Chains A and B, each alone.
Chain A
């Protein structure tokens, strides 16, 4: 019969409409502006409306989410910063749009290069958030951030980040990527224990 196909289609949209209100009743008041509500709407069990009201509501980002690199530094007991970066330059070499500039520092007395960056720039206008720098860094020094709200009004003034703007403490990194952090620390601990073991055996 003519028109039956259209009616079936309309029934589908009507079900979606009803579903939204059924879910509202089931989750009385908890469906919007609550973490579990957002979780429910964006899961495969979700029914009805699925949109999220940004910026009042924000989707949680998964651990692997990547946005603009950060430089991780260790905090000393007196609050001094010790950069993990040794300025080996692998990140600058692997960077696809070539947006990383590194200046190596030299020992003031001998003039020989020392493994620490004097300056570290990333032009975040050019950065394509691919994460290759973090993937290939052998010292776990450069990592990808989770903070995606970095809009500014003047890109010429603000969008070349220097070492101060890029640096974050290890605690921040451990907070945003707990699983990766634990995994890397386990490897590090194993390495140091093996080193200690071999030096003991040698001694």
Chain B
């Protein structure tokens, strides 16, 4: 690694492409504004001429006062460095933007999400259906003039709570029967689910040349939403030819609660406990990304000891998440619960530490803007020391000996769910999936945040891009996390854990920020737009498990139906994050 990566200056694209791009000169904003008609040309040039091959995030912002809808793109180089941000503005009433799926296939689900939640239509998108909500849903909830059934006020804190708080239940004010709005002309009784027709229609029938005399019928099989392999409520519709998958469509949104709308009602600090509930296996990492994004806007930095505590917790979380994934992958393979139980044993010890430091095992709510919530006590620190210097290395080796060489694991995983390096980048996969395909891309190295530039660790990389490589990468990454933790424990500094006095309402200057961390599931990003008020104007989560699912169909097609379960297990999704 050279020192220049991550600090290099990006070229001025407005000077390079004066016809297509102008600099976004609003205060607190960065990047370029592009006309919708030039978007595809510009994006192709940025990808092919400048090498920004990795589309990290696509999202929309509703600028209601200006009457504009904005689509924001963040693209990166897979060799590391700073992003190029470009934006397209269209009028709210006529929100149509050309789709970038042809340039970056990874935009697929993200554009569908922007259509679903913001009502931005993407021209020439191959399959522009709602993704998180159902067809009987009225309106696009993230538009600023859309109000939820329990609507009380634009932003928290609500005035009804203090000083004359008259207690009520919102469901009593707006009872269960009346809290639903349907689109015009929609009657739930007469509704024939067109979505199903569209879904199955979307699974394009492949007319196979009549090679054999044996006539076969294609058949659609539904996995889920209630299926043990999905670890939650997730559905896949697979088109089969015999046992072979011809096409597959994931269906999600069963656990949708519109996290982003809740986030826009919340004040900045109120959002921290809500981020815990995204990927509930690794809440510390979720806190980390959000806090980094807001700190970027506020222009503050935590003290040294807080930085060390943050890294310590984030790496413990990574071990926790990876060991769970490995255990449950084996569950999906049929090694019913013995490996998962051994994984849970280590997880318990890590959660004990979280509980003693943060107060809760899973919903940690530990990071704050400018520090962390609580200091670590000496006895807990001793526990961490024991864990990283004795117990975890031993147990990871045991796990390795237990599973890696097993012939059953090998036969079931090797060569299954292969994703080539080009595909992995194109589909915007992140984390272990991307690295298993041979792209050594890790945000901790590519654009070091916090104090990751101080630690010595390797970015683990696979070469085949199959399920077995993803499994091996997780085992090896746990070893690297232990390696980082050993350095953290060795150099752990004394000092304060918070700069200044903790505030219950922080002042965030107007502007935008995109903060990202390498979460256990992949690149976890938060895009925040502030207009100087106590509540964020836009709060978007780039959820790694959601975007990793874009490549699911690609991995499954051509494989056997029994392998779908294993492939899904190797992607490692958490439905709290997929559905948000």
Contact = CB atoms under 8 A, between A and B. Distances in A.
Given A44-B391, A65-B360, A93-B504, A104 B406 contact: no
A201 B313 CA distance: 48
A42 B352 contact: yes
Interface string B355-374: 11111100101000000011
B410 to A, nearest CB: 7
A113 B365 CA distance: 34
A160 B386 CA distance: 43
Interface string A1-30: 011111011001100100000000000000
Given A66-B360, A128-B363, A160-B167, A6 B406 contact: yes
A44 B350 CA distance: 10
Interface string B429-452: 000000000000000000000000
B273 A89 contact: no
Contact of B162 (A89, A130, A132, A135): A89
Contacts of A94: 157, 267, 269-270, 504-505
Interface residues of A, number: 48
Contacts of A66: 359-360
A136 B498 CA distance: 14
A4 B405 contact: yes
Chain A binding site: helix, strand, loop or mixed by DSSP? mixed
A5 B165 contact: no
B331 to A, nearest CB: 15
Interface residues of B, number: 56
A62 B356 contact: yes
Given A65-B359, A96-B266, A104 B163 contact: yes
Nearest to A64: B359
A50 interface: yes
B48 interface: no
B270 A132 contact: yes
Interface in A105-149: 113, 119, 121, 123, 128-132, 135-136, 144
A2 B360 CA distance: 46
B338 interface: yes
Nearest to A138: B504
A90 interface: yes
A2 to B, nearest CB: 6
A104 B165 CA distance: 8
Identify which of A5, A16, A87, A179 gathers the most chain B CB atoms within 10 Å of its CB.
A5
B123 interface: no
A5 B161 contact: no
A59 to B, nearest CB: 9
Given A44-B386, A102-B162, A62 B355 contact: yes
B205 interface: no
Interface string A33-48: 0000000001011000
A44 B349 contact: yes
B344 to A, nearest CB: 9
Nearest to B373: A135
B401 interface: yes
B273 A96 contact: yes
A113 B163 CA distance: 10
A44 B274 contact: no
B57 to A, nearest CB: 25
B157 to A, nearest CB: 4
Given A6-B407, A136-B504, A100 B165 contact: yes
A135 B165 contact: no
A64 B156 contact: no
Nearest to B274: A96
Interface in A75-92: 87, 89-90, 92
A44 B521 CA distance: 26
B573 to A, nearest CB: 23
B165 A64 contact: no
A135 B163 contact: no
A168 to B, nearest CB: 18
B273 A8 contact: no
Contacts of B266: 96
Contact of A12 (B163, B360, B398): B398
B374 A64 contact: yes
Nearest to B385: A44
B77 to A, nearest CB: 37
A66 B273 CA distance: 13
A196 interface: no
Contacts of B352: 42, 62
Interface string B326-352: 000000000000100010010011001
A61 interface: yes
Identify which of B163, B357, B505 gathers the most chain A CB atoms within 10 Å of its CB.
B163
B458 to A, nearest CB: 25
Identify which of B160, B401, B404, B407 gathers the most chain A CB atoms within 10 Å of its CB.
B407
A145 B373 CA distance: 18
A161 to B, nearest CB: 10
Nearest to B266: A96
B17 interface: no
A181 interface: no
A101 B342 CA distance: 45
Given A9-B402, A135-B373, A64 B356 contact: yes
Nearest to A62: B356
Contacts of A171: none
Contacts of B386: 44-45
Interface in B211-251: none
Contacts of A89: 161-163
B208 interface: no
Contact of B161 (A9, A98, A113): A98
Given A9-B403, A42-B349, A103-B165, 16 more contacts: A5-B406, A6-B406, A8-B406, A44-B387, A64-B356, A65-B355, A92-B157, A93-B505, A94-B269, A100-B165, A101-B160, A102-B163, A104-B164, A128-B273, A131-B359, A160-B167
Nearest 4 CB-CB pairings of A with B: A101-B165, A5-B405, A130-B273, A89-B162
17 contacts: A12-B401, A13-B402, A16-B342, A66-B359, A66-B360, A92-B157, A92-B165, A94-B270, A94-B504, A96-B270, A98-B156, A98-B158, A101-B166, A102-B163, A103-B164, A130-B365, A136-B504
